[in-house]
């Protein structure tokens, strides 16, 4: 059928522009099969799409342990994914060095995240798990024409499996591992009259934290998640399809421990820092600050679980008017209610009175999207046109957290922000393949016009205390922000078929991200003025080829990107949470991606991927208004020197994997070993800044599948898996700024990634 989202492959585990599928080769022949993706709104061979793409099918997701968007971290060169510091359920996405270093309801992400064609407008709660993911596509580079205003870095498509009228399907799996890990996943697909089907899926997952809290409350790093989805599919009169999905996602994680890497007691304000000792290192020695991952620590305040509840509705309708004309409608509604506990250095306090930048944000975010698409083709032209409408609204209370005293009551209201945003866009893209040029040349012209309006209200009548319980001098204010933005983004691509198995392409594309304001601003002036839009133009050359009778797939891309008015978050207050966004006039990014996949034998596949980034700012420093309690307006100009490189843009990243598959007497044996490397990168753009050190993560999977239980009784699969097998200590976040240096945290405040994890999965499937 027209909209059947089925990825044809025997599969390839690769990185940049091939499908990652670890049982990579057909057992019958050592050849890499065609990969079908929907990156340009229609089903196409991945090798024909002039975009740098990574695609993971369901089997690859299982073997690599990818359960949520955070698990993609390090799996794709030139892609960095991590959680927002202090919030395990809020995810930051960076592609080719382009991303969102701060997460606020008043500012949009720079990488567009889509699920079943529906744009997800907020980073809050994006650590959700999907119950039956069919494929994930990662599109690297600006996607302004087809994906809109917030795709300056690229786009990530999550595609779930539709309910299937072709037959009954039952799947049940149990997963146990260290850290008291337990997961149960249940799925049943029931056909109705050969033209419709209903699918229900439910997953319950729990894992204990890996840093013990000797103090009050829960451990750090607990994961507690439940997912329920209900899908309905209907084939309409042989010419159309309707797919509806309801999803409920519950996430009750605790935050990871953020710990000081170093402490200087001679710093100007270090005398007011009190550690809630004992913190205990891996040798059991009490410490106040260490560059090594702590296993035990004492919290100053109670550590509590968050509570993120997401309800999502998606309706996809497709109608085939003829063999050459298709209409699609994509409708989505998403409601997020999120309560989390965010803290930097929760093991320390200021003068024993209250935690350092510890907040309890309570966020409500609702969004509605509607997109209409019309796809057509002639003998020489394929085209797509669309209309897009989006609206969202949010409310966020920032509640203070303290131990409680006469001076500072616990849970006082600190801040309130509400937003309302709308976006309307019209877009089109057409590819002409003139017969006069033997159908080997393809010229693609695209464009998108976007009109966006952003509104925000802030009530900053806060109860705020200084280091000794006295008012900080941060002015209380209420303010409104209301700005409109519009932009036309063109794109042009030329690709040429060298032969039936390889092609080259050249492209220039543009994208933009609307401006906004900062909900963490310490100044009414800064909040009302906000920041402007950012623009990005990208130039790219690429090659895609299947060689040696399709036993080898080699893909490569080089690119250069020019920013104008690059948006970046800078510290403007007395702690890490008080920040504003500014526009940096000039920033440049260049780089390359190489991807090599080889079906060495019928049973063995090897893949190598490599990404390189070179990023820099213009020669000028930046000047902005920052908190100054002694000035008449409460602010004064500050000039900061920029770092050499953009934030969270590692210069080198690489992946390598070997996959072995062969039939055995009782089923199909497969083994995979994979490694991911990421070089050192800074975490901010103003000096001083923190750094994420280089890291190499090793994973492996061994499985025995297709274990027949007898005719008509289904199959079993047993899988042993491990992640970070070398138990490397590595940062996923590191905050350093002058306010922290003054307090004595001279090397930054870092959050560590997971230690070694391992387990076994038992799965039953009937189909």
pLDDT tens readout for residues 570-611: 888 877 778 899 999 889 999 999 999 999 999 999 999 999
Q: Under a CB-based contact definition with an 8 Å cutoff, are residues 427 and 490 in contact? A: no
Q: State the pLDDT at residue 628.
A: 80
Can the peptide bond before residue 278 be classed as cis, meaning omega within 30 degrees of 0?
A: yes
Residue 12 lies in a domain: no
Q: Which residues of 736-764 are buried (b: 16+ CB within 10 A; e: fewer)?
A: bbebbbebbbbbbbbbbbbbebbbebebb
Q: How far is CA 342 from the centre of its chain?
A: 19
Ranges 1-5, 534-538, 681-685, 708-712: which has the least confidence? 1-5
Q: What are phi and psi of 652, to 5 degrees?
A: -125, 140
Q: Give the pLDDT band of residue 358 (cuts 50, 70, 90).
A: low
Q: How far is CA 554 from CA 7, 20, 32, 37, 461, in A?
A: 20, 14, 11, 18, 59
Contacts of 637 (CB under 8 A, 6+ apart): 623, 624, 625, 626
Contacts of 119 (CB under 8 A, 6+ apart): 112, 113, 147, 148, 332, 369, 390
Residue 457 lies in a domain: yes
Structural domain boundaries, residue 416: 19-766
CA pair distance 65, 153, nearest whole angstrom: 25
pLDDT tens readout for residues 423-434: 999 999 999 999
Which tokens in the block code for residue 714? Answer: 């289904």
DSSP code of residue 62: H
Q: Give the pLDDT band of residue 86 (cuts 50, 70, 90).
A: low
Residue 122 lies in a domain: yes
Q: Give the pLDDT band of residue 24 (cuts 50, 70, 90).
A: very low
Can the peptide bond before residue 688 be classed as cis, meaning omega within 30 degrees of 0?
A: yes
**Mean pLDDT along residues 27-47:** 81
Q: Under a CB-based contact definition with an 8 Å cutoff, are residues 227 and 130 in contact? A: yes
76: domain CATH number is: 2.40.170.20
The residue that leads in pLDDT, 754 or 69, is 754
Number of domains in the chain: 1
Residue 4 lies in a domain: no
**Mean pLDDT along residues 662-677:** 96
Q: Give the pLDDT band of residue 407 (cuts 50, 70, 90).
A: very low
DSSP code of residue 298: -
Q: State the pLDDT at residue 342.
A: 81
Which tokens in the block code for residue 208? Answer: 């204990």
Residue 13 lies in a domain: no
Q: State the pLDDT at residue 400.
A: 61
Q: Under a CB-based contact definition with an 8 Å cutoff, are residues 251 and 241 in contact? A: no
Which tokens in the block code for residue 67? Answer: 């359960």
Which tokens in the block code for residue 679? Answer: 């070089």
Residue 7 lies in a domain: no
Q: State the pLDDT at residue 2.
A: 38
Q: State the pLDDT at residue 76.
A: 94
Q: How far is CA 643 from the centre of its chain?
A: 24
pLDDT tens readout for residues 281-305: 777 777 888 999 999 999 988 888 9
Query: Looking at the predicted structure, is the pLDDT value of residue 91 above 70?
Result: yes
Q: How far is CA 213 from the centre of its chain?
A: 28
Residue 201 lies in a domain: yes
Q: Give the pLDDT band of residue 102 (cuts 50, 70, 90).
A: confident
Residue 536 lies in a domain: yes
Q: State the pLDDT at residue 465.
A: 45
Q: How far is CA 452 from CA 36, 148, 567, 684, in A?
A: 33, 11, 17, 28
Q: Give the pLDDT band of residue 467 (cuts 50, 70, 90).
A: very low
Q: Give the pLDDT band of residue 11 (cuts 50, 70, 90).
A: very low
């Amino acid at each position: 059928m027209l909209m059947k989202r089925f990825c044809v492959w025997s599969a390839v585990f690769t990185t940049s522009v091939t499908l990652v599928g670890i049982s990579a080769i057909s057992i019958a022949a050592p050849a890499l099969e065609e990969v079908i993706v929907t990156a340009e709104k229609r089903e196409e061979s991945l090798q024909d799409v002039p975009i740098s793409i990574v695609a993971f099918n369901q089997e690859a997701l299982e073997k690599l342990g990818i359960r949520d968007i955070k698990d993609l971290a390090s799996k794709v060169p030139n892609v960095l994914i991590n959680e927002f510091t202090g919030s395990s359920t809020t995810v930051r996405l960076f592609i080719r060095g382009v991303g969102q270093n701060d997460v606020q309801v008043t500012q949009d992400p720079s990488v567009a995240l889509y699920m079943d064609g529906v744009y997800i407008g907020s980073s809050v709660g994006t650590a959700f798990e999907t119950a039956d993911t069919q494929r994930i596509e990662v599109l690297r580079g600006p996607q302004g024409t087809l994906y809109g205003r917030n795709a300056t870095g690229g786009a990530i498509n999550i595609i779930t499996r539709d309910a299937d009228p072709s037959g009954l399907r039952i799947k049940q799996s149990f997963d146990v591992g260290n850290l008291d890990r337990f997961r149960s996943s249940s799925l049943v697909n029931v056909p109705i009259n050969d033209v419709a089907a209903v699918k229900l899926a439910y997953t319950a997952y729990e894992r204990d934290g890996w840093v013990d809290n000797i103090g009050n409350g829960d451990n750090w790093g607990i994961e507690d998640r439940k997912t329920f989805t209900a899908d309905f599919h209907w084939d309409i009169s042989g010419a159309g399809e309707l797919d509806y999905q309801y999803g409920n996602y519950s996430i009750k994680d605790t935050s990871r421990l953020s710990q000081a890497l170093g402490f200087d007691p001679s710093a100007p304000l270090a005398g007011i820092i009190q550690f809630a000792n004992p913190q205990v290192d891996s040798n059991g020695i009490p410490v106040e600050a260490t560059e090594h991952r702590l296993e035990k620590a004492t919290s100053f305040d109670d550590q509590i679980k968050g509570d993120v509840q997401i309800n999502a509705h998606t309706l996809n309708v497709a109608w085939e008017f003829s063999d050459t004309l298709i209409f699609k409608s994509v409708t989505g509604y998403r409601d997020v209610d999120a309560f989390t506990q965010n803290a930097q250095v929760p093991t320390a306090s200021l003068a024993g009175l209250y935690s350092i930048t510890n907040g309890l944000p309570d966020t409500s975010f609702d969004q509605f999207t509607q997109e209409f698409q019309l796809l057509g083709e002639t003998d020489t032209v394929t085209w797509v046109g669309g209309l897009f409408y989006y609206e969202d609204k949010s409310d966020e209370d920032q509640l203070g957290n303290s131990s409680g005293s006469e001076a500072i009551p616990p849970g006082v209201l600190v801040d309130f922000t509400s937003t309302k945003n709308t976006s309307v866009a019209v877009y089109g893209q057409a590819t002409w393949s003139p017969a006069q040029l033997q159908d080997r040349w393809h010229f693609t012209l695209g464009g998108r016009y976007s009109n966006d309006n952003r509104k925000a209200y802030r009530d900053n009548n806060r109860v705020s205390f200084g280091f000794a319980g006295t008012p900080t001098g941060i002015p209380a204010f209420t303010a409104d922000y209301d700005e409109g933005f519009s932009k036309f983004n063109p794109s042009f691509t030329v690709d040429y078929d060298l032969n039936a198995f390889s092609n080259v392409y050249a492209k220039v594309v543009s994208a933009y991200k609307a401006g906004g304001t900062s909900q963490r601003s310490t100044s009414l002036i800064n909040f009302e003025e906000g920041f402007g839009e950012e623009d990005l133009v990208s130039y790219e050359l690429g090659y895609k080829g299947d060689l040696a009778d399709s036993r080898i797939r080699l893909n490569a891309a080089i690119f250069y990107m020019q920013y104008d008015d690059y948006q970046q978050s800078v510290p403007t207050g007395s702690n890490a949470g008080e920040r504003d966004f500014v526009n940096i006039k000039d920033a440049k990014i260049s780089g390359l991606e190489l991807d090599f996949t080889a079906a060495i034998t019928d049973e063995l596949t090897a893949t190598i991927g490599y990404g390189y980034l070179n990023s820099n700012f213009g020669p000028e420093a930046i000047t902005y208004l920052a908190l100054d309690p002694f000035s008449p307006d409460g602010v004064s100009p500050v000039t900061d020197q920029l770092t050499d490189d953009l934030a969270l843009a590692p210069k080198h990243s690489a992946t390598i994997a070997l996959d072995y598959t062969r039939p055995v007497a009782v089923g199909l044996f497969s083994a995979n070993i994979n490694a991911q490397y990421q070089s050192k990168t800074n975490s901010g753009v103003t000096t001083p800044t923190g750094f994420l050190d280089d890291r190499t993560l090793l994973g492996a999977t061994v499985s025995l599948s297709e274990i027949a239980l007898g005719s008509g009784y289904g199959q079993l699969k047993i899988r042993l898996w491990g992640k970070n097998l070398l138990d490397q200590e590595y940062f996923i976040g590191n905050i350093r700024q002058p306010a922290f240096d003054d307090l004595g945290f001279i090397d930054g405040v870092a959050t560590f990634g997971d230690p070694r994890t391992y387990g076994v999965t038992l799965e039953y499937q009937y189909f």
